Chains A and B, each alone.
Chain A
Amino acid sequence: MSKITRLLGHMQCGEKGTIVSVGSGPMREDKPEKEGLTERLLEMGLVEGSRVEVLHEAPISGDPIAVSVRGALVGLRRDEADYVEVLEDSE
């Protein structure tokens, strides 16, 4: 059973894992980071080492998503969530 790293913005409802990087990580080299986004993500509790689970998706488009992290439910758009890399739990 191999664990894989995924971008939070690409995860579906019910998928969970541990955050391994926040900000412009190796998987995000193609896209320049918006100013202050890393700090904002960190402030909302999306920090390396924290457990995260995608709980809800907005209807129709599936964007934004609501993730459970550090005891709170945080809503964010998928393109923002893509700056968070998650080591997904394997089944």
Chain B
Amino acid sequence: MNTPATVPAPLVALTGNPNCGKTALFNALTGNRQKVANYPGVTVERREGIAVTPKGHTLKLLDLPGTYSLDPKSPDEEIALEVLLNKRADVEAPSVLVAVADATNLERCLNFVLEIRALGKPVVLALNMMDLAENRGIELDLVVLEKELLIPVVPTIAVRKEGTATLLDKVEEALARVRASQPVQIVWHRPSPDELRARFTEVDRIMKLATKSKGRAAEWTRRIDDVVLHPWFGHVILLTIMAFMFQAVFAWAEPFMDLIEAGVESFGVLASGVLPEGPLQSLLVDGIIAGVGSVLVFLPQILILFLFILILEDSGYMARAAFLMDRSMGKVGLHGRAFIPLLSSFACAIPGIMATRTISNRRDRLATIFIAPLMTCSARLPVYALLIAAFIPNATVFGFFGLQGLVLLGLYLIGIAFALIVAWVLKKTSLRGPAPSFMMELPTYKRPSVRNIGFGLWERAKIFLRRAGKYILITSMILWGLASFPKAPENATEPAIQYSLAGKIGNAIEPVLRPLGFDWRIATGLIPGFAAREVMVSSLATVFAVESEDEGEVERSLVEKLQTAWPLPTALALLVWYVFSPQCLATFAVTKRETNSWLWTGANFLTLLVMAYVFAMLTYQIGTVLLSA
């Protein structure tokens, strides 16, 4: 009866509607014995884990993407269908399916359960969120339900890990039945509208028999929505939440960022103490530690941003934000859901691009990823701050606006405006297609689960560190090499970087950048700036040979040197360059991962580069003409 230990653990797939607590149940069943990867060739998350049954047997659990039906409408849903139909070479056929349903809204979930059941594989129904159903006075007759559905029904409360043992027992019983019987041929066809209607009739029949008490409707959801979706207050609340989120991203992250910076620095000092002075020490300290540190420092901001996104998603508010913003986003052909990823990109494009996964339509998602780098991320701020301090007079205009602040705002607005224009053009040209449907469920409000958010944050942190880290490690080594070799001659009069490859490249590309008003120093500084935008500040300091222990002192003297070195149009052109330039290789590493296309990533990079060049040139040329007039 028992399986020998040598038999590989059977695969059990979790399926269900979105918002039925499927992932929470998966977390409850597997705990930390789970891993998240991608299905090869697509950017759909593959969440797999190990569960141990009360009898001590091991099961492999696969969390399939949530879907309303097997008829696929997004890459996520296609994966779900392919796995269920054994059509994927990289996933073995699941032996048993667990259909997860929301007990507070069984009527809604039952349709999909019937479709799953019709596949012919053994199905166990997990009736989740039983506690919430009870609170609302909903009573279901599980015996009748089992009799009508002809599958085992197990009540569960995923957030409290209740019912998981029984569920695993039932799964094991189903497995035993599978082993005893002949394998079934899995067939599925896209249901016609009339077949869908017939299934709803069947759902109504079963619900009528199995419902003992309908309970109360989720009145509070409606009451919250009356405020949150209010014709006037709706946007005010959205704006307030977003403002708070941004405030938090910058204010809360600061102490942690300082800590990481200090940590990286003392690690560098430690490393230079251990290693003998020479190229190896320099590679490690100035190259790797400084390079990786310059990206690592954004981790606190990214995590705080994701903390908010996950809370908003888990509570149900995110769907409302998409609902409120759909009309505005729709004007440039984007889905309401594009709003949050784009907003996140103001902190950093990397979490923004990662957050586009909630957009199911591929064309919409690509357009959103494409324009995310145009949102002014926080890494641009040090560069903006330096140039504005050096070149924009601290004057007051129109009575109370500071000119410096207005210029900063203008840079943000240019980015947003061109992002919208690019999206509109994309949706009219290479991403043209039928307007996607907005249709989405606005889930009942729930208290976010600490465990789910913890898992979510941990996952994001891992993705960021692994992906960004890998590329940054390599690029920072290359960029260090470019800036360090060949060495300056003994009797060098110029800063060492000018003798290096980076300096040579800077000199070589200077003629190309001359129409932008960029001299060789900017050209040289731009090269290490590809690792991370804010590195430009320190590389300018290197080029201008500004040396001081005190950071504030460096910046003050750099401001002075810049003022004498560059005319105003050059500075303005450099600011405009930074609005567009694709100077963050980590972003494009993530773009490659999420789009799974080198072509698309390359096109994105080139478009931004061309835009940076053209608009910086226009700024310089027009600025020069205006100033000489």
A interface, CB within 8 angstroms of B: 22-23, 34-45, 47-50, 55-61, 63-64, 66, 68, 70-77, 80
Contact = CB atoms under 8 A, between A and B. Distances in A.
Interface stretch (B319-327, B476-484, B586-594, B603-611): B319-327
B323 to A, nearest CB: 5
A47 B110 CA distance: 14
Contacts of B196: 39, 42-43, 47
Q: Shortest 8 CB-CB distances between A and B: which pairs? A: A73-B442, A56-B229, A42-B196, A43-B68, A76-B439, A47-B200, A75-B323, A59-B231
12 contacts: A36-B73, A42-B197, A48-B197, A55-B225, A57-B231, A64-B336, A74-B442, A75-B323, A75-B440, A76-B437, A77-B439, A80-B439
Contact of B69 (A38, A43, A76): A43
Contacts of A63: 326-327
B232 interface: yes
Nearest to A77: B438
Nearest to B69: A43
Interface string B192-209: 010011001000100000
A58 B193 contact: no
A64 B336 CA distance: 10
B68 A66 contact: no
Contacts of A35: 434
B442 A75 contact: yes
A25 B231 CA distance: 31
Contact of A77 (B221, B326, B442): B326
Given A34-B434, A35-B434, A59 B324 contact: yes
Interface residues of B, number: 42
B232 A66 contact: no
Q: Considering residues A34, A48, A57, A64, which has the most beta carbons from chain B within 10 angstroms of its beta carbon?
A: A64
Contacts of A57: 229, 231
B108 interface: yes
Given A57-B231, A63-B327, A71-B105, A43 B111 contact: yes
A28 to B, nearest CB: 14
Q: Considering residues A22, A43, A60, A74, which has the most beta carbons from chain B within 10 angstroms of its beta carbon?
A: A43
A37 B73 CA distance: 11
A14 B230 CA distance: 13
A76 B435 CA distance: 13
B148 interface: no
A67 B111 CA distance: 19
B441 interface: yes
B327 A64 contact: yes
B386 to A, nearest CB: 40
A39 B441 CA distance: 15
Contacts of A47: 196-197, 200
B235 interface: yes
A72 B42 CA distance: 31
B324 to A, nearest CB: 6
Contact of B440 (A48, A56, A58, A74): A74
Contacts of B111: 43, 45
A12 to B, nearest CB: 12
Given A60-B327, A66-B229, A74 B439 contact: yes
Interface string B206-238: 000000000001000110011001111011000
B265 interface: no
A63 to B, nearest CB: 6
A45 B93 CA distance: 30
B323 A58 contact: yes
A59 B193 CA distance: 33
Nearest to A48: B197
B437 A37 contact: yes
Given A42-B196, A58-B324, A59-B235, A66 B225 contact: yes
